[in-house]
Chains A and B, each alone.
Chain A
Amino acid sequence: AKPYEKAVDGGLLPDANGKEPNPGGQTEGSKWQRPRLSRKSLMKCCLVKWIIASTTQQGPDSSDSDLELSMVRHQPEGLEQLQAQTQFTRKELQSLYRGFKNECPSGLVDEETFKSIYSQFFPQGDATTYAHFLFNAFDMDRNGSIRFEDFVLGLSVLLRGSVTEKLRWAFNLYDINKDGYITKEEMMAIMTSIYDMMGRYTLPSVRDDSPGEHVEKFFQKMDRNRDGVVTIDEFIETCQKDENIMASMQLFENVI
């Protein structure tokens, strides 16, 4: 079931019929009438509007109303559904949601917040670019924010999934435009962002061609048919043949 979204705002609530109220507007069936020097028409006069605008505090009010309309709240799917979709136990899901909700009371993580959170783990370098890629990897329906379901589904794959699923997830991360192929440019972007996270003070220091060199090695290893792109099958096959990679896949299982 799709999660429903409640638009909560203090101002214009849709009434029971779903019709939006018309603030200050004219009722239906209005014909053009001669402008009379009534209070209403005076108020519409530009000069008067300008005077009133400059004397009253209108700025914050208008932005407030904008804010209220856009502040949506998201409730996740039920616990049972999530249990079915992921490999987490009920208690684990409860614990995860409590932490998530505490950090993001609105139930959604937008990209800026995500970047700032992720950057805190890598203080020496600049983690924003990689966080951007990571965000896109989690945000499966590409709506610009991570909901709890995305979060938990991603974590389920990473922590409880099979090796193939994890490799698929990694491929999805590297494939920036999600077209099924990893090009050299995409890999270069990913690699640069990873090296960016290291920052300036490293031993040996990160040279300008370090990411490029790393990309070359990657392609040499992964790109079987030397066509300049890495497909998902090439990727999975190569990784399964590499014992180091296979062994390291078990590393993070105990994180939660």
Chain B
Amino acid sequence: MAAGVATWLPFARAAAVGWLPLAKKTMPKPPVDNSSRSDEILYLNVSGVRFQTWKNTLDRYPDTLLGSSEKEFFFNEDTEEYFFDRDHEMFRHILNFYRTGKLHYPRHECIQAFDEELAFYGIVPEIIGDCCMEEYRDRKKENQERLAEDTEANESMDAPLPPDSTPRERLWRAFENPHTSTMALVFYYVTGFFIAVSVIANVVETVPCRPPEGRIKDLPCGEKYQLAFFCMDTACVLIFTFEYLMRLFAAPSRCKFMRSVMSVIDVVAIMPYYIGLVMPENEDVSGAFVTLRVFRVFRIFKFSRHSQGLRILGYTLKSCASELGFLLFSLTMAIIIFATVMFYAEKGTKGSTFTSIPASFWYTIVTMTTLGYGDMVPNTIAGKIFGSICSLSGVLVIALPVPVIVSNFSRIYHQNQRADKRRAQQKVRLARIRMAKKGTTNAFLQYKEDRALGGRDSDSTALCVKNRSAFEHQHHHLLHCLEKTTNHEFTDEMTYSELCMTESVGFRTSRSTSLSSQQGAQNNPTGCCPRRARRRAAMRLANSTASVSRGSVQELDTLHIKTTSIPPQTRSSLNAQADDLKLNCGEQDFTAAIISIPTPPANTPDESLPPSPAPIPGILRNTRATAFTHETVKISSL
């Protein structure tokens, strides 16, 4: 209900006294209203800007944040005001909504920011007043389109092939996105070249060449070098046929492919040749055959696969179909009208070229498009008057739909530009995200190291502790808890990949007893690191007792893992699978591989794991190695 209704409700209730003498039954008891009767002023502090309003104003919309008891959560007892840590400029509009009952959309604000504010205050955007609703909807639609393009672009082109694609799918992909593989690119350029060659040949063969000896008349080159042109044509058609058949084979939906515009163009481009082959050298039919050769020029449309601009143009024309239709219709109307008028105006003159109304069509078209060939010219005064009106109106009629088409083209073209720009931006953004993740992981590993260092080197730890915020501390603690929960450890990508590299040498180490049994069942032949772990274990045998074997090899970067098929494995279980493991690093796409991180023996008797007979203490990152040097085993040294 609108704000006004709430204001008028007491009045409507009071007017109900008029029903009382007529009532058939007794009236029900009125609800008891315990709220304070007197109206009070509330103070709303939004990021320091104080707003004041009557309580009644806010109570008008009881299903919003400010109108309900939800605002009590924001009440600050010390200052006796409601404090909101939000944008005060947008709050102005929100508060005005309570006051006037109309919500306005500020045009200079970002649509998403506005939506978020509305969502926070519990106001439904549908109640935006008519004055601002159109603008709001337009901006929102534009924004959504942009976001949709984003996700589309993400999914469509640059997504890597699923590993289990059939050759057919791969072939189709190669055709659709030539830049995915070199072969596709080569094929793309070759076809482009042959299209150009074919078109040029078609053009050149009509140019008059010098006649051979014995003839006086100029011959078109096509007839002089008939064999050469025929061979070139054959070659081109062969390539085009091959390409078409390959596309047909690779297409996921053959029917849809055969109905698509490009395939029709392909067919039309190569059909004349085959028809010409098949057709006998008959006089009557060869006339028709000559017309068929005209269709060879359609090969030039095959370029639209190669040129984005052409595609945009075609798409624009398609999307402006209604405007084009209107243009055509209005032109037709005008042509008929003016042709009729001109015909009857010029009917009397001797030797007039306006022999019939259809003949006048030509004059009208030439005049309306301001061509003015001059082959048909009015001679009477009336004819000239109407002729001038015709040419003036022609300019107007043609000028009207053109800006619409132009703006459509511009919009689509810019959309395409934006898509390309966005793709580039995405790449940069992904790279940045990767770096940030790596930074977090490194920070966490640092934290663990420092924790391990603990009391040993208080100065340095104090230093690095200072540089970390409370947030980071808590975050690291959280990651640490996760490690303890799963009994695996985080590590970083570099060390993990290095381990994978040095995977080749694998030799068994003694199994650890306790942990292996359960996890052995979940073995998964994708961890390459177990071998490395075993190698390390072998190297570490000397230092076995003190260091606690912590964690195991796993891939735990939850942020960026693409394949989820790798269950965490303890080191020991990985040991157990020594024989089955194969180097499989290529399939995983993590940003932070997990490698076990040892701790210095003295400090942390790491709780969860009993010391296994084959500890793997090597620290697998080559960062700080202050107190650790004697214990660290750099991967590269393995």
Contacts and interface: CB of A to CB of B under 8 A. Distances in A.
Interface of A: 91, 95, 98-100, 102-103, 117-118, 120-121, 134, 137, 151, 154-155, 158-159, 166-167, 169-170, 173-174, 190-191, 194, 214, 217-218, 235, 239, 244-245, 247-249, 251-252, 254-256
A235 B100 CA distance: 43
A214 B2 contact: no
Given A239-B21, A251-B27, A121 B5 contact: yes
Given A248-B27, A251-B30, A235 B21 contact: yes
B12 A169 contact: no
Nearest to B22: A218
B19 interface: yes
Given A194-B22, A214-B24, A251-B30, A158 B14 contact: yes
Which secondary structure characterizes the binding site on chain A?
helix
A254 B30 contact: yes
A121 B12 CA distance: 8
B38 A91 contact: yes
25 contacts: A98-B54, A100-B7, A117-B4, A117-B5, A117-B8, A118-B12, A120-B2, A121-B5, A121-B9, A155-B11, A155-B14, A158-B14, A167-B21, A170-B18, A170-B20, A235-B21, A245-B23, A248-B26, A249-B20, A252-B13, A254-B30, A254-B33, A255-B10, A255-B30, A256-B10
A169 B11 contact: no
Nearest to A221: B21
B20 A245 contact: yes
B283 interface: no
Interface core residue of A99, A166, A252 (most chain B CB under 10 Å): A99
Contact of B4 (A103, A217, A245): A103
A254 B29 CA distance: 11
A85 B4 CA distance: 26
Contacts of B23: 244-245, 248
Interface core residue of A98, A155, A252 (most chain B CB under 10 Å): A252
A134 B21 contact: no
A172 to B, nearest CB: 9
B99 interface: yes
A117 B12 CA distance: 9
Contacts of B56: 95, 98-99
Which secondary structure characterizes the binding site on chain B?
helix
A64 to B, nearest CB: 19
B7 A173 contact: no
A251 B17 CA distance: 9
A214 B99 CA distance: 43
Nearest to A102: B7
Contacts of B17: 158, 166, 169-170, 249, 252
A151 B11 contact: yes
A102 B22 CA distance: 33
Contact of A248 (B11, B14, B20, B38): B20
B155 to A, nearest CB: 47
Given A91-B39, A99-B7, A121-B9, A169 B16 contact: no
Contacts of B424: none
Given A118-B12, A120-B1, A244 B26 contact: yes
Contacts of A190: 22
B278 interface: no
A212 B11 CA distance: 28
Contact of B19 (A102, A154, A194): A194
A219 to B, nearest CB: 11
